[in-house]
């Protein structure tokens, strides 16, 4: 296990999307989206040689400089993230890392004919990593529904039933049987089993769906807030999840039951940071987010039935449908106002991240260091500066905040009632 797995402080992870970094202005001119419909003849096999090895190096470096974990993500048929099978990169990282957690966020359960396969692969990864895997499960967003031509309402049913099957495979001595609406198995008896007991930590992403919040809270899962909103929008989701955990959770709420993604570049000064990463940041917003979080082009983010009626109603009530999205940013001022991409000196980066801990009560900070077409050299530089100048302060000050407001239950003592954060 990671050395600081039970420390009462924020945990900090290096997230990688594994993007395609070789687009130019012809993409903007010729194609409606970087997702699903961009012709795959644009994939240059010569340029692809060594690309995954570079990305693995960047994630292994995060372990070397002391991050709590690395995060991998599953997406299909796009230039945003070349990771249709994150478990394959996770397997490589079990041999390249020694201490950090390996978070797969997550396997898309509805794409599997039998979710038992997911349970088996995660169990293998947990054994290969000596018990460092965090098992993420997701139903898939609109892009995946279009990619694989499946029904989102049906996918949600299969998702939670599939998770029930996986939990049974990990926690009930086999052979057992499983007979659900979508999955029927006479024998549930997987070998190997995960090293972590009763099972690896489970993370589930959600985008303001209270149904997902309730399901995650009841099961004791970590809820990854899948949003690129600024602090005010994030707080609406996180504070509601905190209330729901208090209502139906197995234990009192703790910030490490929630995670949030940020894109970060750290330089010696604000000016140096912006100069070094400007091309890569706007490559990411203009190209990688076209078809996703950008109004220009063909957006495929929301498949029919992707949100249940209650969540869609809340989306309509709380969203400014005419507001700029992250991919519409035209300047640093736009990016600063949106709050999801943080660029600057160590002091600036800390100051912009810290309110997400104290006000939104986020305990897992997931940081994307490789942004767009950023070079390996600059990715490693930013990640190292963050580890040296930002991470120690986040850890120290979050520990003080958590000890005051979210003390961990001492062995043999009843959990204290939650106090309002001070």
Question: For the whole model, what pTM was predicted?
Answer: 0.92
88 CB-side CA count, 13 A: 9
Dihedrals phi, psi of 52, to nearest 5 degrees: -65, -35
Considering only the top CATH level, what class is 11-405? Answer: alpha beta
What burial letters (b/e) apply to 356-378, b meaning 16+ CB within 10 Å? bbeebbbbbbbbbbbbbbbeeeb
pLDDT of residue 410: 59
Please give the helix or strand (H or E) that residue 136 lies within, else none: strand 133-138
Each domain of the chain, given as residue ranges in start order, spans 11-405
pLDDT of residue 421: 64
- The closest alpha carbon to 140, from 149, 127, 131, 129, belongs to 149
Query: What parts of the chain have a pLDDT lower than 70?
Result: 1-5, 303-304, 306, 312, 315, 321, 410-422
pLDDT of residue 279: 97
- The closest alpha carbon to 145, from 128, 161, 127, 159, belongs to 159
143 to each of 106, 150, 359, how far by Cα in Å? 15, 11, 32
pLDDT of residue 69: 98
pLDDT of residue 411: 47
């Amino acid at each position: 296990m990671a050395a600081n797995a039970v420390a009462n402080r924020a945990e900090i992870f290096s997230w990688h999307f594994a993007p395609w970094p070789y687009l130019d202005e012809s993409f903007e001119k010729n194609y409606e989206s970087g997702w699903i419909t961009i012709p795959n003849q644009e994939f240059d096999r010569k340029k692809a040689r060594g690309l995954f090895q570079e990305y693995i190096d960047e994630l292994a470096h995060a372990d070397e400089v002391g991050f709590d974990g690395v995060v991998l993500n599953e997406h299909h048929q796009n230039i945003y993230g070349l990771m249709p099978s994150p478990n394959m990169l996770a397997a490589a990282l079990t041999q390249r890392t020694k201490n950090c957690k390996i978070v797969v966020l997550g396997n898309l359960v509805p794409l599997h004919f039998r979710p038992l396969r997911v349970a088996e692969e995660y169990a293998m990864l947990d054994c290969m990593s000596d018990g460092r895997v965090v098992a993420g499960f997701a139903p898939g967003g609109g892009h995946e529904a279009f990619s694989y031509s499946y029904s989102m309402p049906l996918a949600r049913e299969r998702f939670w039933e599939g998770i029930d099957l996986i939990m049974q495979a990990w926690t009930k001595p086999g052979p057992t049987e499983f007979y659900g609406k979508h999955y029927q198995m006479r024998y549930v008896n997987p070998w190997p089993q995960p090293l972590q007991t009763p099972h690896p930590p489970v993370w589930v992403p959600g985008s303001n769906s209270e149904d997902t919040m309730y399901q995650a809270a009841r099961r004791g899962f970590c809820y990854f807030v899948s949003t690129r909103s600024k602090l005010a929008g994030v707080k609406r989701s996180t504070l509601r999840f905190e209330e729901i955990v208090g209502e139906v959770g197995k234990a009192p709420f703790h910030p490490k039951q929630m995670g949030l993604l940020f894109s970060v570049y750290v330089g010696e000064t604000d000016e140096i940071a912006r100069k070094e990463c400007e091309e890569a940041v706007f490559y990411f917003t203009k190209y990688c987010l076209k078809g996703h979080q950008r109004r220009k082009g063909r957006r495929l983010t929301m498949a029919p039935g992707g949100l249940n009626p209650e969540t869609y109603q809340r989306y309509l009530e709380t969203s400014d449908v005419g507001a700029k999205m992250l991919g519409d940013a035209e300047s640093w001022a736009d990016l600063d106002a949106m709050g999801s991409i943080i660029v600057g000196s160590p002091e600036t980066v800390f100051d912009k991240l810290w309110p997400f801990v104290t006000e939104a009560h986020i305990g897992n900070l997931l940081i994307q260091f490789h942004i767009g077409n950023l070079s390996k050299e600059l990715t490693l530089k930013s990640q190292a500066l963050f580890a040296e100048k930002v991470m120690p302060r986040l850890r120290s000050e979050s520990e003080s905040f958590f000890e005051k407001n979210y003390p961990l239950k001492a062995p043999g003592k009843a959990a204290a009632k939650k106090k309002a954060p001070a």
